[in-house]
Amino acid sequence: MEVPALLDIQGVEGLSRISYWQYIRFNKCILSGLYPRNVRVDRRFTSTETYGIRQLSGIVFHKILEEMPAEISKNAKGDKSDLEKYCFDKIREVEKKISLETGDVRYEGALDGGEGSKIIKSIKSVLDVRIKNHQAESGDISRYPEKMFYSKDGTVCGKPDLVVKKGDWIKVLDYKLVDLERITSDQLSDYKNQIHLYSYLLKDNFGIYPKEAEIIGLSGKKLEIELNEQNSDEVYLRLKVYLDQVNRVVERNQHSFRNLCSPGDDPCSYCQAKPLCPALRESNVNVNLPKKSHFVVGYQHGQFRYSRRGGAIISIKPMFRTFGFSSELITLSKIQKERFPSLTNSPGQLIVATNFIANQGDVAAMAGFDSRIVAIEESNLHE
C-alpha cells in the first residue's frame, strides 16, 4: 500500500527574496528550505513544525531584544528587576503563542528554570555590551536594533541584531546564543558571511559601508570581524544568483520531487518536512537519522493501551518508518493525552508520528520533547 501524498508538489512556490540562513538551508535541500511556507500540505500538518529547547530559546532571545522598550534597555545598567520581569513575561508570551500554534501544551513552561535563566543572563550581557558601546560613542548616534534591511532590488534581506550609526561611521553587531570558543570553523565562516551580507545591505541602504563589525556570544564574549567590501559584494551576489536558480528549479520541477530534494543524513536530520517527504521515502532510507528524529507513517493497530507510568501506548502497522525495520508492528509510548488533544483512539486510522526517540534497530520509540503525532482521515487530504 502506498503512503498517501501528504505533501502537494504542485503547490510548491518559489521565493521572492532570500536571507543568509535560508541560503544555507537551500544549499542542503531546496524543498527543505521552502517548507513549510512555500509548500502546500494537508492542513493538519501545519502543526508538525516542532521546536527543540535550543530553537525555542533562540526565538525568545531575539524576540526579547527586538521588542524591548527603550526605557527598559536604558535602565538595565542599574536595577535589573524591570528587565527580568520583562524577559519572563516575554518568555511566557512566546511559549503560549507556540503552544497555541502547535496545539502542544508542553511548550508552556518549557523554558522554566535553567533555560529561561540562561536566556536572561545572555540578554544582560548583550545589554552590558550595548551600554558600554553607548558610553564609548557620544554625539548624534542612531541605533537600529533588530531592523530588517532589504537590498535595493528587494531580492536579499537580513536582520542584524544591532546597527549603530554616527555620521558616516557604521558598526554592525550580531548576538549568538553560543559559546564562541567552541564553534566550528564552518560555523565561524557562516557567521562571517552573514555579517558581510548585513554590511552589503547597510551600504545599499545608507550609501556607506560599515567600518566595524562584532559578534557577541554567550557571557558577552566578543569577536571582532574584519570587514571587506569585496567579500560583502560577493556574498550578496552569491545569494541573488542562488535565488534565481532555486526559482528556476521550482518552476521546472513542480511535478517532480527529484530535483527539489536531496535526501541525506545532514539535510534530513532536522528537516521538518521529513515525515511528509516522498523523496526520503523513495530513497529507501539510507539516511542515518539522529536518535531523537525518527518517524513513522502507518495505521493504528488495535486499541491504545495505557502504561502505569503514564501515557498511551500505540501499536502501528507501518507503511514507512525510519526505525524498527525488522518488525511488522512498531510501538510508540509515552503519548500524553494533554499534549495531543485531537488524537482519538481509532483503530485503523492513519497516523504520522515524528521526532520520536529510537535507535534505527529498535522496534519501539517514545515521545520526546518535540515529538508530534497527527492522525489523518485520508479522504480529507488537501481539502
Q: Of 277, 296, 316, 352, which one interacts with ligand SF4 (CB under 6 A)?
A: 277
Check binding of 261 to ligand SF4 (CB under 6 A). yes
Q: Of 145, 263, 298, 324, which one interacts with ligand SF4 (CB under 6 A)?
A: 263
Residue 275 CB, shortest distance to ligand SF4, in Å, is 8
Residue 278 CB, shortest distance to ligand SF4, in Å, is 8
Check binding of 268 to ligand SF4 (CB under 6 A). yes
Three-state DSSP state, 30: helix
Residue 16 CB, shortest distance to ligand SF4, in Å, is 21
Check binding of 7 to ligand SF4 (CB under 6 A). no
Three-state DSSP state, 55: helix
Cis previous bond, 290, omega within 30: no
CA–CA distance, 283 with 140 (Å, rounded to integer): 59
**195: closest CA among 210, 177, 184, 206?**
210
Check binding of 267 to ligand SF4 (CB under 6 A). yes
CA–CA distance, 287 with 57 (Å, rounded to integer): 28
User: Which residue is associated with the grid cell 517548507?
Assistant: 35
CA–CA distance, 196 with 350 (Å, rounded to integer): 47
Residue 265 CB, shortest distance to ligand SF4, in Å, is 10
Kindly tell me which of 56 and 261 has the beta carbon lying closer to ligand SF4: 261
Residue 37 CB, shortest distance to ligand SF4, in Å, is 14
Spacing of C-alpha 106 from chain mean position: 18
The contact mask relative to ligand SF4 for 14-53 (x = CB under 6 A, - = no) is ---------------x-xx---------------------
Q: What residues contact 128, with CB distance under 8 A and at least 6 apart?
A: 76, 77, 220
Cell numbers linked to 379: 479522504
Kindly tell me which of 28 and 118 has the beta carbon lying closer to ligand SF4: 28
Residue 275: DSSP 8-state: G
Cell numbers linked to 363: 522496534
Residue 382 CB, shortest distance to ligand SF4, in Å, is 18
Q: Kindly list the residues in this chain that would bind ligand SF4 in the complex (CB under 6 A).
A: 29, 31-32, 261-263, 267-268, 271, 273-274, 277, 279-280
